[in-house]
Structure 1
Amino acid sequence: SRSAMGSGHRDGDGEVPEEETNSLLLTSPEGDGPEDASQLMITSPRKIVDEEDVDDKPAKRMLTTFELFGLSCYWFGWSALMGPLLVAVLPDQINSFPTADEGKGAALADTLVWGSALAIVVAPLAGSLSDSSTHRWGRRSPYIATGVVIATFALLVMAIAPTLIIYKIAFLLLSAANNVAMSPYTALVPDLVPVQQRGTASAWLGVMSLLGTLMGGGVTYVFKSIYSVYLVLGLLHAGSGCMTIHFCRERCLLRNRPPTFCRRCCSLVRPVLNHDFRVMFSTRFLMQMGILTVQENMLFFLKDVIKDYTFMGNKVANSARQAVTVMFLPILIGAMGSACYAGIYADRTGKRKAVVYVSGGVMMFSCVLFSIINNFFFAVVAAFIFGLGYGAFSVIEWAMATDLLPNPEEYAKDMGIWSLALVLPQVVAGKVAGLIADNFKEGGKTTRFGYSILFLVAVLYFIVGTIYVKRIQALT
C-alpha cells in the first residue's frame, strides 16, 4: 500500500493526486514553492518519497557550508576514534599483554587480521541492504545509528579486556560495527553532493578527518588512564554520529522491491568488472598499504630507534605513546593545508590524477627520510612532509571514487566494496610489517636496519600505487 506524510487527501483508488503530491513533497523548507526533487537535501524535513515518482536525473543543488559541515561530522568522530586507536592505543595495549612480549609486531598484525576479516563481508553487505532500505529515517541513518551503538559496546569491552583473545574478539566486533555504519555513510556523498562540488565536499571530509585525528591524539596525550581514553574517544564517536544523523535529512523510499538473494550476490561482483573502478580500488589499496605501514609502526619506531623525544632543546614527551601523539601535530598541520587546496584545485581544474601524482611523490620522499633519520627533530620534519602528501591524497581518493561509481542506485554497496581497499591493507600490510619487524631484532627490539626496510617497503607501495592511477580512463 502507498502512504504519504502530511495532510493530503486521497482519490478513490487510495492514491494521492499528482498535483497535491508535488506540493506536499517538493516544497522547499523556506516555503518558496515547489522545487526539483533534488532539492530535498539535508536541511529539509524528513519526507517519504516514492523513488518511482521522482525523477532523479536533474542535477542536485549545491550544498551550503553548514550542510557540508553536518555531512562531515561523523567522519570527524570516526577519525578521532580510529586514528589514535590504530596508531597509539592498539599497539600500546597489545604490548601490555604478556603473550605479546616476544612478538609484538605479529600480535598487532594478528589483531588487525581478526578485525578485518569480518569487515570484508560486512562492508558490502551493509551497503547493499542500505541501498534497498525503506526505513522512515532514510536509507543511511538507521545503519549509522546501529553501527555507533555496537561500536560503543565494543569499546567498553576493549577497555576492560583481561586477555588478548577477548581483546581481539572485541576489536572484531568494533570493526564489524564500523563497517555497518561506514558503508552507508560514505554513500551520503554521492547521494547528496553534486558532481561539481564533490572535490570541495571531499576537502571537508578530509579536514574533519584530520581535526578528528588531532582531537583523538590530544585525548591519548592528556589522559594517562586507558579507561579514560576509551571513554572520551567513545563519546566523541557516538556524539558525532548523532550529529550527522540529525543534520542529514535524507529522502526516504516509500516503495522498493528488495533484490533477490541471487541478484544481490551478483551485484557484489558487478563493480569489479568495471575497469576504472577496479583500477581505483587497486590504487587505493596500494597507497593505503604504504600509509598503514608508516602509521602502525610509528610508535615502535619512536620507542626502539628515536628514544629521546627532544625537539629544539625541549623534551616534549616522556614515553613513546606521548611522542607518537606529538607526531600527529606536524602530520595534521601539513595534511590540513594540502587537503583544503587539493579539493578546491580538483574542482576547479578537474585534474584529479595530478593530485595523486604529487601526493604520492611527497609521501615517498618522507618515507626515505624516515629510513635514515635517528633523532626526533628530523622525525617531526619528516612527519610534516608526510602529512602534506597524506592530506592531498585522502581528499582526492574520495572525489575520484564518487566520480567512478558505476551504478547510482547502489551507491552504498559500491562504496562498501571500495572501502575494502582500506580494510584489506590492515591485514596484508600488518602481516608484512610484523614479519619484517620481528625478524630484525636485537635484544628484543627491532633494529634500525629493520625499520629502514619497513619504510622503504612503504616507498615501493607508493610508487606502484601512484603509477597505476594513470590507467583510469574516465579521468584522462
Structure 2
Amino acid sequence: MTDLDAATAPAGGAFDEPTRRVGAGWIAAFASAWLGIWMAQLTPVQLLLPAQIDAVLRPEQWTDSVLAFGVVSGVAAVFTIVAYPVTGALSDRTASRFGRRRPWIALGALVFAASLVVLGFQTELWAIGAAWVAATIGFCVATAALTATISDQVPVDQRGFVSGWMSAPQSVGIIVGLVIVTMLITGAEAGYAVLAGALLLLVLPFLRVPDRPLAGGERRRVTARGILASLWISPRAYPDFGWTLTSRVLVSIGNALGTSLLLYFLMFGLRDPNAEDDLLVLTLVYMVFVIIASLVFGRLSDRLGRRKAFVFVASVLQGAAALLLALVPDLTTAMIAAGLLGLGYGCFLSVDQALATQVLPDPAARGKDLGIMNIATAVPQAVGPLIGALAVVWTGSFTLVFVLSGACAVAGAIAVSRVRSVR
C-alpha cells in the first residue's frame, strides 16, 4: 500500500474529524499542487502583469501604471469574494464518485491555466483585466477545495506541519517562476503558457489522492438560497472565527502592501537600474526565510499545542519589516526587510492556517467556511496593490505604503490575541 493509498479520509462519515496521520506521499502531492498554484498566481503579480500593463499603457507618469495595476487587482478581488465561499459550499455538497474536492481542484486548475494562456496574448487594458479576473476565479476554485482537504484528512496535531507545506511552496513558486520568465523564457505569451503548463503538471499528483465521497445520509439538497444563507457566519455566535478572520484580513493586507509593489518600488522609489535582477535577489531572500519559518514553526506549534503566540509574533515581525522600509528606504534595508518579512509571513501562513481549521463552526461545511477564511487572504492580496497605488499617487512616494503595511500587521496581531478557544 502506498502513502497515497493510506491517505484516505478517516473511517466513518466524510464530516468526522480525521485521526489517521497523512503520509509522506500525501504531503508531497499536496506540496506539489501548491507549488504549481503559487507559481502561476504570484509570478504574474510580481512581474508579468505589471510589466504587461506598463507596456500597454506606456504612460508619461509612472504612477498611472501603478494605479492601473491596482485597479486590475481590485476588480479581480470583487470576484474572489464570491468565488471562494460559493465554490467551498458547492464542494461540501458534491456527491461525485471521485469525492467532494477533487472535481473542483481539477476544474479550477483547468480554468486557471486556460486563462493564463489567453492573458499572454492581450494587448488592451480591459482585455488584460478580464483575463486576469478569469484566472483569479480559477485560482479560487482550485484553492478553496484544496485547502478544505486539510480539515477533511489531516488530524489537528499534524495541521501546523502540513500547512507549512502549503506556505513553503509559495516562496519556491515565486523564485522558480521569476527565474523562468526572466532567464529561460522570453516574451509574455511564452511566460504565461509555461506557467499554465507547470500548473497542470504539478496539480496532477494530488488528483490521485483518495477523497471520500458523501454517503447517502450525508447528502444535502443544493439550492442557491441555501448556499447564500450559509455564507453569513455571525461573529457574535462564533467570535473566535470572527477574530481569526479579522486577523488574517489585516495581516494579509499588510503583506500585500509590503510585497506587491516591490518592482515599482525598486524602479521608481529607489531608481534601481537593475530592478528586475534585484527583485529576484529580494525574492530569494524572502523565499529562504518563508520556507524555514513555515516548516519549523508549523511543526513546533503542533508539538507545543499552541497557535496564537506564533501568529502574534509573526504579525509583529511583518510590521517591523514594513516600518524599517518606511524609515530607511534603500536596497540594503530592503534585503533585511525581506528576511524579516519572510520569517514572519512564513510562520503566519502555516500556523494561522492550522488555527483557522480549529475555529470552524460546522464540520459539514468545512469547504464553505474555509472558503470564507480564504477570502481574508486572497482579497487583501488583490486589494493591497490598489490601496498601495492610491497611497503612491496621493503622496508621490512609497513611505505611506510601508507605514500602512506595518500598521495592518500589528493590528492583526492584536486581533488574534482575542481568540479564546485555541491556545
* TM-score, normalised via structure 2 length: 0.92
How far apart are residue 261 of structure 1 and its match?
A: 3.6
Q: Does 2:250 align with 1:286?
A: yes
Alpha-carbon separation, structure 2, partners of 1:56 and 1:388: 34
Q: Alignment partner for residue 64 of structure 1, among 23, 30, 43?
A: 23
Conserved? CA contact 2:14–2:214, under 8 Å:
no
Q: Does 1:167 pair with 2:109?
A: no
Aligned to 1:98: 57
- d(CA) in 2 for partners of 1:88 and 1:289? 19
CA positional deviation for 1:54:
4.4
Q: Report the CA distance between 1:330 and its aligned residue.
A: 0.4
The answer for the alignment partner of 2:270 in structure 1 is: 306
- Answer whether contact 1:352 1:396 (CA < 8 A) is retained: yes
After superposition, where does 1:319-330 map in structure 2 within 5 Å?
320-330=275-285
Sequence identity percentage: 25
Q: Which residue of 2 aligns with 1:141?
A: 102
- Judged with a 3 Å threshold, the aligned counterparts in structure 2 of structure 1 residues 196 and 269 are, in CA distance, closer, same or farther, namely same
Is 1:230 the counterpart of 2:192? The answer is yes
Equivalent position to 2:221, from 235, 241, 258: 258
> 1:64 offset after TM fit, Å?
1.4
Letter in 1 for 2:5: T
Measured after TM superposition, the shift of residue 75 of structure 1 is: 1.0
The RMSD of aligned alpha carbons is 2.3
User: Aligned residue for 1:117?
Assistant: 78
One-letter amino acid matched to 1:325: L
Q: Which runs of 5+ in 2 are unaligned?
A: none
Partner SS for 2:213: strand
Q: What amino acid is the match of 2:57?
A: P
Deviation of 1:165 (Å): 0.5
From 270, 273, 277, the equivalent of 2:233 is 270
Cα deviation, residue 76, structure 1: 1.0
Relative to structure 1, is the Cα distance of residues 322 and 437 closer, same or farther in structure 2, using a 3 angstrom cutoff?
same
1:42-71: CA deviation from partner (whole Å, max 9, x where unpaired): 425999x9x9x7486475211112221112
CA distance in 1, matches of 2:162, 2:144: 17
Aligned to 1:77: 36
Aligned partner letter, 2:44: L
Shift of 1:181: 1.3
Alpha-carbon contact 1:346-1:352 (below 8 Å) kept: yes
Query: Which one has the bigger helix percentage?
Result: 2
- CA gap of 1:46–1:288, structure 2 versus 1, over 3 A, is closer
Which residue pairs with 1:240 in the alignment?
Answer: 202
Task: Report what 1:454 is aligned to.
Answer: 401
Alignment of 1:20-419 (within 5 A): 29=1, 42-43=4-5, 54=13, 57=16, 59-98=18-57, 101-102=60-61, 103-222=64-183, 223-246=185-208, 248-255=209-216, 256-270=219-233, 272=235, 273-308=237-272, 318=274, 320-419=275-374
Which SS does the other structure have where 1:460 is aligned?
helix
TM-score (structure 1 length as normaliser): 0.82
Q: Supply the AA of the counterpart residue of 1:403.
A: Q
Distance 1:251 1:367, change over 3 A: same
Q: Residues 57 and 160 (structure 1 numbering): CA distance in 2 closer, same or farther, change over 3 Å?
A: closer
Structure showing greater relative contact order (alpha-carbon pairs closer than 8 Å, 6 or more residues apart): 2
- Counterpart in the other structure of 1:22: none
- Asked whether the equivalents of residues 15 and 364 of structure 2 are also in contact (C-alpha less than 8 Å), the reply is no
- Rate the CA distance shift 1:427–1:70 in 2: closer, same or farther, 3 A: closer
Aligned residues: 417
Q: State the alpha-carbon separation in 2 of the partners of residues 426 and 389 from structure 1.
A: 16
Letter of the 2:336 counterpart: V
Alpha-carbon distance in 1 for matches of 2:18, 2:214:
19
Mapped to 2, the partners of 1:436 and 1:209 lie a distance apart of 27
Match in the other structure for 1:19 = none
Q: CA deviation at 1:183?
A: 0.9
